[in-house]
Structure formats: structure tokens, C-alpha cells
Structure 1
Amino acid sequence: MEIKNLTTEQRNPATMHIDSMSTIDMVKTINEEDQKVAVAVGTQDDKIARAIDEATKRYSKGGRLIYIGAGTSGRLGVLDAAELVPTYGIKPERAIGLIAGGKGAMYVAVEGAEDSQDLAKKI
């Protein structure tokens, strides 16, 4: 499997020329594309519920919640892990956020970190 061939690595044809759209067309396009997410998630309710139940079981037995990501999704994972502590009273060692490229990647993009085994290991 080549990473570059994954659907998640492809550009969205609907937003290919978003930079040249009128503002109203941009807003409508983004809204239409965002609505597709809820529909897609809705098709996987059972699997998502099973994953949550399994994670809850493991967490209740002393497990940890670990977010792992690269780029923007990695930053959001680190942010969410940090926010669980003050919001829900979770101990910091039980909510961990890891971003490919290490701590510096939180502030400056480390291009290619998600595709590099060496950079992915740098925490």
C-alpha cells in the first residue's frame, strides 16, 4: 500500500479551485463538504460505538488515551489531550498527545513527518 494512493491523501475535487471561488460559493462548498462528514460517520455508528466501548473498558482498567497524528490532525490531538486534564480532571499521564516530528512540529510544520519513519519516531 502506498500512502500517496490513500483517499485521505487526495485533494477534494469540489475544492480544487476554492481560491478562485466567490466568497458565497466558498461558504456553500465548505458547508456541503462538511455535511458529508456527518453522513459518513452515520454509516459507521455500530463500529464507532464498539470502539468507544472497548476503549472505555481498557481505560477503566488503567489504560491511557493516546492521540497520535501528524500535521494539523496531530496538533489537534495534542490540544485535545491537554484539554482533557482541566476539563475532565483526567491525570496528565493518562491523556497523551503525540505529533510526528516532535514538539517543535506543534509550532512549525515539519513537512513529510507523517511519511517518514524516522520523523514519526521523534516525539
Structure 2
Amino acid sequence: LSEDLMDVARRELGETPDVKEAALSQLRQLIAGEPLLECPLDEDFLVKFLRGRKYDVDCAFKNIKKYFKARMEHPQMFQGLTPQSIPFDTTCRKHRLLTVSRKNDPEGRVAAMLNIGAWNANICSLNDLF
């Protein structure tokens, strides 16, 4: 992360190197305690769940289990799912489903808004949209 993003993570998530390492260690221990859960243990993968739950390790672990349960129960939703496979141009840009702000927020981040009311099932399915 850039210095600015590290500052945002510290302020908004309470992320510090010590907090991050402790949370990763705890999360890896929880995952190790679930022998049937085949989950990557690398930092890049796990930190996404930790940041999504503001470093609440128990909540992050629950989300990981839900994620893999969804992948197991609905493999068709994830089959061939890559950024390139999502029909972004057709579904979002041409039909004005997604609007991206011309100006960044004070932190320099880009804001995007999804206009779900503009979604048309004849153009793409809800599964394709999400």
C-alpha cells in the first residue's frame, strides 16, 4: 500500500503492522483448526477478509467460511469468473448502470455508484451483473 492508503487503513481500520501480524496469526490458527477448510494462508488473501471486518478476527473467519461454503454450494457462480469475463462494457457503461465520479474524494479515492434501477434483465441476468 502507498503511504496514504496505509494512513487510511490505520485511521479507519486500526491497521498497524502489529495488529495486522497478530490478526493474521490468529486467523491462521482458526483456519488450521478446521481441517476440512481448504483456504489459502497467504497474507494477501487473508488481509482482504480482515480489512473487510475491521480486523475483527472472528468475523473475518466467519466470512471466510461463508465464502468457501458459497463456492462449494454454487460452483456455477464462480466458474470462469475473472475480471475479463464480466461483461462490464455492455452491462454497466452502455446502459449507464455505473457512474464514476469525475472528482476524487478528499483522500484521493474514486467513488462509483451502481444504479440498480437501470438494470434490464433482457440485457444481462442478475448473475451476470453481480
TM over 0.5: no
Query: Normalising by the residue count of structure 1, what TM-score does the alignment of the two structures yield?
Result: 0.31
Q: Which has the higher helix share?
A: 1
